[in-house]
Structure 1
């Protein structure tokens, strides 16, 4: 992989002090609606819930055609139109508390140009460090963003339901280690709002299908990861010391999906399987270390 050069753009550190906002935390708890208590002021924030607790709304005038902020500010001006949240990793050093202040440091730490099966890719790694109210490092995270060429998905078109399902509970327990995960347009819209994510592939059907070539609305990668982690919370799992999450294949709104937990020696392996089932391989994975 090579590092592309962008004239006039250099990575820089952004530092902000932010409230661990109880309102979007409550929104995510309401979205899952799974019987667990809603984390409130003074409670420990569950792993990766800082994705909703620290939302960042960009000014409308700064958004590009896809709903994301225009590139060339914090993120490099990559000349590829399709953006995916591909995965990442996080280490939890100490708890963050709902309702407290946190300091966030963010910087682009790697940009790499490569060629994959679907054509040219640019991979951008963004590193975040979250510090608690005492100034101690609480969370270290690296997010992997992938930019792709404007092209239809490779292979056979994915099958999506002709009629989108009505809103309902997203998680349905089948056994101690297996859950059904059900998505609908309202769920995706509510998650977009909770995470301040304006990417149109998650709520704008004409844009997703006609402009970016998807067969339907795309289920957020972060929503898939958080749904997997929610099954761990529902099982009363051990505190998470670190994790790695990866999106491996897109999941489209309304498609059948199953969440499976497999215990490991020092953690657990969580996997989301789409309509192809286990034989097709996971669409998303989260590997936990306790």
Structure 2
């Protein structure tokens, strides 16, 4: 498939503003989904990475595509490739989102790039997000979304044969159960069926199981780092390297590298799925 890159680059500079009050109820549901017990009182600092649950597009159900995604176009460039995935983010925290605050996100498309990958053509869209909580800037995020063609998804066995991940100094096992993936999809208002509809994920898109969300993996790694260090991160860089599925356990790994921490997710025998570097 040939992409009209000049047409897609016309979306560079496109902006969107969204806002939502972070309620105690949402904070409680977020913590319950992740088996946490944070403070949900008004004025308390909200859990790290809860921003992915705020200000999501409320597209009509009748407007969703077969895959559960909203229609292409509008704020985002209408990339015609069928598969869309979260690829990477760099997050810089300048303050805390507070429970009870109005949280506003201002988003801007900053780049559109087309590359030829091993599985075919890829289109990368870069977004800058600026978050304000109660009128105070608290977070800047540069995010990359990748679009690709309908290449066959590698099985966990094929990934494991490609490269085994090392074991971290600190390791935690998380089982990506269907209820966990469904609840996270609900929290982030993500209708993409690969995360909760097993017959669709396996029979239509060809995955070996439900796909574990990239932002969910990033959130689990950020919370693991915070727990190990005993303080909230100031900067997080995350990068998706391969997919994780609901076919087995997911391992959270971490090791210190000086004042920084390197973290990664993987299956017990498979390759690194997501890598994160955290600074304080």
Partner of 2:118: 117
Q: Give the alignment of 1:228-247 within 5 angstroms.
A: 228-247=221-240
Partner of 1:23: 25
Provide the secondary structure at the position in 2 that maps to 1:6.
helix
1:262 aligns to 2:251 (yes or no): no
Partner of 2:99: 98
- Please, which of 239, 249, 253 is the counterpart of residue 242 of structure 2? 249
Partner of 2:218: 225
How many angstroms apart in 1 are the aligned matches of 2:40 and 2:237?
A: 23
Partner of 1:180: 173
Asked if the contact 1:22/1:53 (under 8 Å) is kept, the reply is no
Partner of 2:156: 158
Asked if the contact 1:21/1:54 (under 8 Å) is kept, the reply is no
Partner of 2:148: 148
**Unpaired stretches in structure 2, ≥5 consecutive residues:** 159-167
Partner of 2:34: 32
Partner of 2:201: 208
Asked if the contact 2:201/2:209 (under 8 Å) is kept, the reply is yes
TM-score (norm 1): 0.85
Distance 1:90 1:7, change over 3 A: closer
The alpha carbon displacement at 1:53 in A equals: 4.1
How many angstroms apart in 1 are the aligned matches of 2:225 and 2:179?
A: 24
Partner of 2:64: 63
How many angstroms apart in 2 are the aligned matches of 1:38 and 1:60?
A: 33
**Unpaired stretches in structure 1, ≥5 consecutive residues:** 161-174
TM-score (norm 2): 0.88
Distance 1:53 1:71, change over 3 A: closer
Q: How many residues align?
A: 269
More moved, 261-270 vs 71-80: 261-270
Partner of 1:284: 274
Over the aligned positions, Cα root-mean-square deviation in angstroms equals 2.4
Asked if the contact 2:260/2:279 (under 8 Å) is kept, the reply is yes
Provide the secondary structure at the position in 2 that maps to 1:65.
coil
How many angstroms apart in 2 are the aligned matches of 1:110 and 1:69?
A: 21
Distance 1:8 1:272, change over 3 A: closer
Asked if the contact 1:129/1:137 (under 8 Å) is kept, the reply is yes
